Structure 1
Amino acid sequence: MDELDQKILAALAADSSTSTSRLARRFKVARSTVQARIERMERTGVIAGYTVKLGQALTLRRIRATVLLQVEPRTTPGILQRLKPMPEIETVHTTTGRVDLILSVTAETTQELDGVLDRIGTITGVRSSESMIHLATKFDRAV
């Protein structure tokens, strides 16, 4: 990746809906150059996909929590299989240390969050869980 690739990537990371024409004008290159570079980055896996970032109007109304799970040895694949269909679970990370999995969970209400936590707790192989409700985001580098 050269400097132009990095600029295109940064611009798309900030706003994936930016047109190739607009990127070409911004970086003073031909539109076909931008298009070819984007296609190459998609083909090589540098760009894995495009997504929508939810605005504050929606995200401020949602309750977010981090859930730490300790699991029985060799039960992680089965647990992941049970977690995957739950739309409230946005991400699952394996980790080192006293916990085995870190989950990012969102819900519309505390009752919905409580229900998700109950379902997680009943999964065979989950030894223990600890949940931390997010209160306020002070800054977010991903946005």
Structure 2
Amino acid sequence: MDDIDRKLISILRADARTSVATLATKLGVARSTVMQRIRRLTDDRVIIGYTVILQPEAEPDHIRAWMDVQVEGNQTLEVIANLLGDPSVVALHDTNGRWDLLAELRVNSPADLSRALERVRLIKGIRHTETSILLKSYR
């Protein structure tokens, strides 16, 4: 990746719906160059998808929570595979420090959250978890 690729990705992160013509103007390159770079970045799996980001208020019935996970021994890969298979886990991040993983959970009710936490705590290789419910987002 060069500077143009990095600038292209930066613009798309801010607004993935930016038109090819606008991208070309902002980058100072031809539209065909933009299309070629997007195709290459997609083929190389640098760009793996586009998404919609909603304001939390747009989904008032959903509960979002962050779960810190401490893994026992060298079972990280097994734990990751199990967490990614859980329908309540919408994102999973590798971290450093006291916690090994950070899981973002999204459920429909407190009862669903309780069931999700019970499922996660039964995963072999998880030593300890700590969960925080997201109350409000500012950005």
Q: Give the superposed CA RMSD.
A: 2.4
Identity of matched residues, %: 32
Secondary structure of the corresponding residue to residue 54 of structure 1 = coil
Q: 2:88 corresponds to which letter in structure 1?
A: E
Which residue matches 1:81?
Answer: 81
Which residue matches 1:13?
Answer: 13
Which residue matches 1:65?
Answer: 65
Q: Say whether residues 1:52 and 2:25 are aligned partners.
A: no
Question: Bigger shift: 126-135 or 61-70?
Answer: 61-70
Which residue matches 2:122?
Answer: 122
Q: What is the count of residue pairs matched by the alignment?
A: 137
Distance in 2 (CA, whole Å) between partners of 1:99 and 1:112 is 24
Which residue matches 1:37?
Answer: 37
> What per-residue deviation string (whole Å, max 9, x for no partner) do you get for residues 79-100 of structure 1?
2222111122122223333222
List structure 1 segments (4+ residues) > 6 angstroms apart after TM superposition. none
Q: 1:52 corresponds to which letter in structure 2?
A: T
Which residue matches 1:91?
Answer: 91
Question: Bigger shift: 78-87 or 31-40?
Answer: 31-40
Distance in 1 (CA, whole Å) between partners of 2:135 and 2:47 is 31
Shift of residue 26, structure 1, vs aligned partner: 5.2
Shift of residue 18, structure 1, vs aligned partner: 2.7
Contact 1:65 1:134 in 2 (8 A): yes
Secondary structure of the corresponding residue to residue 106 of structure 2 = strand
TM-score, normalised via structure 2 length: 0.79
Distance in 2 (CA, whole Å) between partners of 1:130 and 1:10 is 33
Q: Which runs of 5+ in 2 are unaligned?
A: none
Q: Say whether residues 1:134 and 2:134 are aligned partners.
A: yes
TM-score, normalised via structure 1 length: 0.77
Shift of residue 133, structure 1, vs aligned partner: 0.8
